[in-house]
Structure 1
Amino acid sequence: MDTQSMHARIIPGMRYRNAPAAIEWLCRAFGFEKHLVVPDKDGGIAHAQLTFGDGMIMLSSVGGGDFGRLMKHPDEIGGCETQSAYVIAPDCDAHYARAKAAGAVMLRDVQDEDYGGRGYTCRDLEGHIWSFGSYDPWAHSG
């Protein structure tokens, strides 16, 4: 099976307090593209899918429900996360400059990685932690 032609099989899911603004920011700052955006009746987002190359994230507005009670926003747990996304960005330096110009809070500036490539880590407009890098583990797998 050619993994390079497959779509991502693991799709991170995220919640945002102002999901409509987050969608616009994620597209402007990180280069995501809108694949599907479903508004809810309250002006928020019931479900959205954003793509980056052959990868995707799904997001919605912070809310209740059974699943919502299992999730915490970074501002509810001291700015921490229990997981974060790594996104392959072939031109990591240009991606870093774009994200920084859009107001991403840099936690780790762009640098060469010990395992190959270049990468950086930042927070988005609501405090979620993201890592971007040129290292492609699919190209380096045995």
Structure 2
Amino acid sequence: MIDNRSMPASAVIPVLSYPDVEKASRWLCEAFGFEARLMIGTHRAQLGFGDGAVVVTELKGGERIEARTAKPFAVMVRVEDVDAHHRRAARHGAAILGPPTSYPYGERQYSCRDLGGHDWTFSQSIVDVAPEDWGGIAIGN
């Protein structure tokens, strides 16, 4: 798997939504010992804990800003080949919420919903990109 400074190295990454990303991130760091890794505006943060990570995203009016994921909790999983994974998930009946798309932060991702209604984003690092190159702010490590 390609390393990408704009993405946590963890293979499985919980995505939690809160009304105030900065407040929630600060609280998670203070209360649980997470360390801020990356801030993306005021709507997203990456926090690290040992070799694990969590992404904090913004809830707005009870709904997540990103239409592709309407739940306050989702899971992100890093994979070697997101296009092959997308085909496999679709073949097995996953509800595809967004097709594989390449993003300026060096990831190719797609989102889907499983048979229990849980939202998932699968992500493949396609290039190593410094967070500052696309508007992120690296904080730790």
Tell me whether the two structures share a fold, i.e. TM-score over 0.5. no
- The two structures have a TM-score, normalised by structure 2, of 0.41
Which structure's CA Rg is the greater one? 1
- The two structures have a TM-score, normalised by structure 1, of 0.41
Higher RCO (C-alpha under 8 Å, 6+ residues apart): 2
